Structure 1
Amino acid sequence: MKNNSIKYIYIFSFFLLIGLTGCDDMLEAELPINELSSEVVYASDPTAEATINGIYQSMVTNTYYNSLHTILGQTSDELILKTQLSNVYTTNEMIDTDSSAGTMWTEFYKTIYNANNAIIGISGSKTLTPTKAKQWIAEAKFLRAYSYFYLTNLWGDVPLVLTTNIDETSLAPRNTQTEIYNQIILDLKEAATDLPADFSGYSAIRVRATKAAAQALLSRVYLYLGNWTEASDLATLVINDSSNYKIITGLTSTNSPFIADNKEAILQIPYSNVTYTYEGSALFSSSGTYMLRNGNTLFETGDARKTNWTGTTVAADGLTYTIPRKYKNSYTTTPVERSTILRLAELYLIRAEARVKLNDITGAQQDINVIRNRALLGNTTLTDSNQLLELIALERQRELFAENGHRWFDLKRTGKIDEVLSTTPGKIWASTDSLFPIPETARRSNPFLTQNLGYN
């Protein structure tokens, strides 16, 4: 952590620059390209807002638009390479020197560091417009919570860093997952209070957090923690905000939840100066680098998600397999797409699961049917709680495949991971594989970082 902290002392001018190149019509300040002190950065509204935009823009990295999809897809039972060759992810034989996992760790903490920087700098400024300052702090808290959600679900106990003081961050020990979740919940509650209710202040561009983003992520957190009432209530707040959010129907290549600024999108990653995504142009291209392990049997006949969100490829063994193809744009101008990290369909599935746990069977059926009907499937007639939970898990696989690690986390949080992955072909599974190894580079820099069980 110490080396990374030193590196990011100079983050101000870097983020001001990339903040200006992304979300162009939201930023109009002309900023110097040389290094700026925090006093200068947080002295005026334009420069302070530029730093917040810069944090979002810094998320256009391999971690956010690649690794969260592919590494977690492979460590679960979801994705396998078209070549059908095994690797440390498909076999669950990761080691602490794995560079991709190490980069993920670094990128999450980079986001946290810069969120902390913004929170501290904006809070200490006496020259910013108070209402705007509150919003920017709320955005930084949301981004910090988002990063910690992934850190604790991938690595378990991790350092809880709420400062930019190098003396503290460089030797921070691991905090318990309970402590991490408590901070996530606190950040999201406070963020929801001060975030804007819609995108009007963001030029109608869905690349910065609104109140619904904080509520949606908090709903997910409560689902993971088994707080069913809170998960349901927060999902309902977003679902009922129909003027801003609505399920996309009639799925086509030009009408999907991954089109820029569509009504289902709650938050998207702000690519700058391009109209395509890495997911569509390279990661899940039409030729198919990754295949869905169970893609040929996952979908019901007539499922619009298979028709519109998948393709086919011939693998090394000469057989035809299903490939993920949710993002369509391959270096062309239309449709404009963005990597989507929060969308409304997940909220219906969260509420359906919470309602089953709360014995609201009718309500759960209604939510499941929203997702099934959008996929051109009939209503469920199931009334047994266990059967409904199995159906919800299946609909989550069908709806959220190859997105942001959902399948990996679902197996973990529902206690199914040992049962499923111990019988998945090609896996060398041990229960300790459910947590990633703490990166060797981080442990070498910080002697107080202990390693997860099952790793040297």
Structure 2
Amino acid sequence: MKNYYTKYTYIFSFFLLAGLTGCDDALDVDLPSNQLSSATVYQSDVTAEAAVNGIYQSMVESAYYSDIHTVLGETSDELVPRTGIANVYSSNEIPETDGSMSSMWTQFYKTIYNANNVIEGISKSTTLNPAKSKQWLAEAKFLRAYAHFYLTNIWGDVPLILSTNIDVTALAPKTAQQAVYTQIVLDLTDASKDLPVNYDNYDDERIRATKWAAETLLARVNLYLGNWNEADAHASAVINQSDTYKIVTGLTDTNNPFIADNEEAILQIPYFNVTYTYEGSAVFTTGGTFLLRKGNALFETGDDRKTNWTIDIINNAGVFLGIAPRKYKNNFNDSPAERSTILRLAELYLIRAEARVKLNNITGAQEDINVIRNRALLESTSLTDPTQLSDLIALERQREFFAECGHRWLDLKRTGKLDETLSVLADKIWKTTDNLYPIPEDAIRSNPFLIQNTGY
């Protein structure tokens, strides 16, 4: 059994309590120094909650703080290397052996495995606090849905993993994307019922999922599925929580949506006991590892997002190379405290605007677009043509979410615009089959029932 276990660890991690020690006050839990068995973990509220915290800890990985931003940004029309030299991502020539493919695949499934472990352990326990157990189960389902969402949107049909049973999961074949989405919606719907409606349980830190995080992801999922009424309703449910969530206005280095616990943040991931993020300290640095492909042309004159969220890159010879993302400002400093932000209110306004255009609610769509434009110090739109409004929403999404959680790549995919957008770029070797990434070679080799995506 040991050899069997080792052979198939590629799909997901089997470190039961990896990273369970705290990454912030609300996540700090001291565990015994001896290794705990699964049965022991779910006998105590303290250790059970530590296991839940461990799911969040599994998201402090390169897939979440780097690859999801940079790899997806480069394969789209968003980011290019500062060097100007094309790589496998910016040219869309990703090999099956690529290390980022392996890390993303493995780390997303690690999150899913840890979530499944919590779901199974809490469901079997008879000693845990019932109210807390409901919340913990809801958190695990939310995080499982979040990881499955990225897996299916990056690779298409993927194994749907709902168990920790190695005999079942190690040789799991692909599941049709429709079925993966069905499970995502089910998990999020269940989670929304039992997650807390505020951050009181978390010392007012926005570092664990609430009902509104589940509603936000439901709004996104329904937008992707073309369920316009549902996308509108879920987005409105979050927007209406105006006592908790507000768009951050008057952008500055110390007043922006990436500051810890700001009013726009719906869910943030803290990085251990530090006040900076890996995004700001190592990924999008002042040196400009990546440039925005469209540069200044992406923004209208006076757009405050260009002013506050980008940095000019000039080489040693004094030549202007372009502008680079700089949403996260804290480079190993103590203040202001920042956190990796994975869900924020601005997305809900643009989701609802897009849904409202589809529902022919033009006035409502204008109002939502203008919330985002006005925050950026741009004039309100007066467009009424649905096609023009849809194009403006796509542009505002590109401006609002550049270098952030892969939004641009996923937007081009879901709207069917990858071919027309990327095939005309000279540095890309574009094929229609590039819309899906290659499943990592090691995953294919270890699982004979896992079939490589077309084109690889």
Question: Would you call these one fold, judging by a TM-score over 0.5?
Answer: yes
Is this contact kept in 1: 2:193–2:211, CA < 8 A? yes
Superposition map of 1:368-383 within 5 A: 368-383=369-384
Q: Does 1:287 align with 2:287?
A: yes
Report SS of the residue matched to 2:330: coil
Could you say what secondary structure the match of 1:267 adopts?
strand
Instruction: Indicate the residue corresponding to 1:391 in structure 2.
Output: 392
Determine if contact 2:26/2:202 at 8 Å carries over to the other structure: no
Matched ranges for 1:49-64 at <5 A: 49-64=49-64
Structure 1 position 358 matched with structure 2 position 385 = no
> What SS is found at the alignment partner of 2:342?
strand
What are the superposed Cα offsets for residues 351-408 of structure 1, whole Å, 9 maximum, x if unpaired?
0000000000000000000000000001101000000000000000100000000000
Larger mean Cα displacement after TM superposition, 308-317 or 77-86: 308-317
Q: How many Å separate the matches in 1 of 2:26 and 2:144?
A: 25
Local SS of the residue matching 1:19: coil
Aligned partner of 1:104 in structure 2 is: 104
Amino acid at match of 1:43: Q
User: Could you say what secondary structure the match of 1:233 adopts?
Assistant: helix
Superposition pairs of residues 44-443 of structure 1, within 5 angstroms? 44-314=44-314, 318-443=319-444
Alpha-carbon distance, 1:157 to partner: 0.3
Q: Give, in whole Å, the separation in 2 of the partners of 1:179 and 1:316.
A: 52
Name the stretch that deviates more: 411-420 or 314-323: 314-323
State the one-letter code of the partner of 2:61. T
Instruction: Decide whether aligned partners of structure 1 residues 8 and 319 sit closer, same or farther in structure 2, where only a CA change above 3 A counts.
Output: closer
- The CA distance in 1 between the partners of 2:122 and 2:455, in whole Å, is 42
Measure how far apart 1:249 and its partner are.
0.5
Pairing 1:20–2:25 present = no
Letter in 1 for 2:41: V
Check conservation: 2:75, 2:90, Cα contact below 8 A. Answer: yes
How many angstroms apart in 1 are the aligned matches of 2:139 and 2:12? 23
Counterpart of 1:3 in structure 2 is 8
Question: Alpha-carbon deviations, 1:271-323, whole Å to 9, x = none?
Answer: 11111111111211112110000022010111110110011113699443111
CA deviation string 1:158-181 (max 9, x = no partner): 011111111111110100000000
- In 2: Cα distance, 1:269 partner to 1:375 partner: 25
Cα distance between partner residues in 1 of 2:28 and 2:89: 40
Counterpart-to-counterpart distance in 2, 1:168 and 1:20: 30
Query: Within 1, Cα distance between the matches of 2:439 and 2:264?
Result: 35
Q: In 2, distance between residues paired with 1:424 and 1:257? A: 32
The share of aligned pairs that are identical, in percent, is 64
Deviations 1:211-245 (A, max 9, x none): 00000001000000000000010000000001111
Q: How many residues align?
A: 450
| Cα pair 1:84 1:316 within 8 Å, conserved | no
Name the SS of the counterpart of 2:158 in structure 1.
coil
Q: Deviations over 1:331-356 (max 9, x none)?
A: 11111001100000000000000000
Amino acid in the other structure paired with 1:445: S
**What is the identity, as a one-letter code, of the residue corresponding to 1:437?**
P
Q: Distance in 2 between matches of 1:190 and 1:348?
A: 24
Q: Give the CA deviation at 1:36.
A: 1.2
Question: Take 1:37 and 1:75, find their aligned partners in 2: how far apart are those partners?
Answer: 42
User: C-alpha distance in 2, partners of 1:215/1:297?
Assistant: 34
Counterpart CA distance in 2 for 1:398 and 1:406 is: 11
CA contact (8 A) 1:3 1:445 kept: yes
Instruction: Go from structure 1 to structure 2 and tell me whether the alpha carbon gap of 1:127 and 1:5 turns closer, same or farther (over 3 Å shift).
Output: farther
**Amino acid in the other structure paired with 2:106:** T
Q: Is the 8 A contact 1:73 1:402 kept in 2?
A: yes
Query: Is residue 5–residue 169 contact of structure 1 (8 Å, CA) maintained in 2?
Result: no
Equivalent position SS for 1:218: helix
- Whether the aligned pair in 2 keeps the contact of 1:27 and 1:46 (CA below 8 Å) is no
**Distance of 2:182 and 2:26 partners within structure 1:** 36
Q: Aligned equivalents of 2:293 and 2:31: distance in 1?
A: 49
Contact 2:71 2:89 (8 Å CA) reproduced? yes
Work out whether residues 10 and 443 of structure 2, in 8 Å CA contact, stay in contact via their aligned partners in 1. Answer: no
User: For the Cα contact (< 8 Å) 2:257–2:264, is it kept in 1?
Assistant: yes
Q: Tell me, in whole angstroms, the C-alpha distance in 1 between the residues paired with 2:134 and 2:68.
A: 30
Q: Secondary structure at the match of 1:276?
A: coil
Structure 2 unaligned regions, length at least 5: none
Q: What's the TM-score, normalizing by structure 1? A: 0.96
**Is this contact kept in 2: 1:90–1:427, CA < 8 A?**
yes
Aligned equivalents of 1:114 and 1:254: distance in 2?
35
Cα distance, 1:7 vs structure 2? 7.7
TM-score by length of 2: 0.96
Partner Cα distance (1:416, 1:8) in 2: 35
CA distance in 1, matches of 2:270, 2:146: 16
State the match for 2:35 in structure 1: 35
Amino acid at match of 1:3: Y
Whichever residue aligns with residue 343 of structure 1, its letter is: R
CA displacement at 1:54 relative to structure 2: 1.3
What is the identity, as a one-letter code, of the residue corresponding to 2:66?
A: N
**What is the alpha-carbon distance in structure 2 between the residues aligned to residue 278 and residue 295 of structure 1?**
23
Alpha-carbon distance in structure 1 between the residues aligned to 2:417 and 2:365: 21
Supply the AA of the counterpart residue of 1:196.
Answer: P
Q: Please state how far the C-alpha of 1:270 moved relative to its aligned partner.
A: 1.7
Partner of 2:453: 452
Letter in 2 for 1:434: N
CA distance in 1, matches of 2:432, 2:11: 36
Give the superposition deviation at 1:33: 2.4
- The answer to whether the 8 Å contact 2:219/2:234 transfers is yes
Alignment-mate amino acid for residue 222 of structure 2: Y
Distance 1:345 1:330, change over 3 A: same
> Which segments of 5 or more consecutive residues in structure 1 lack a partner in the other structure?
none
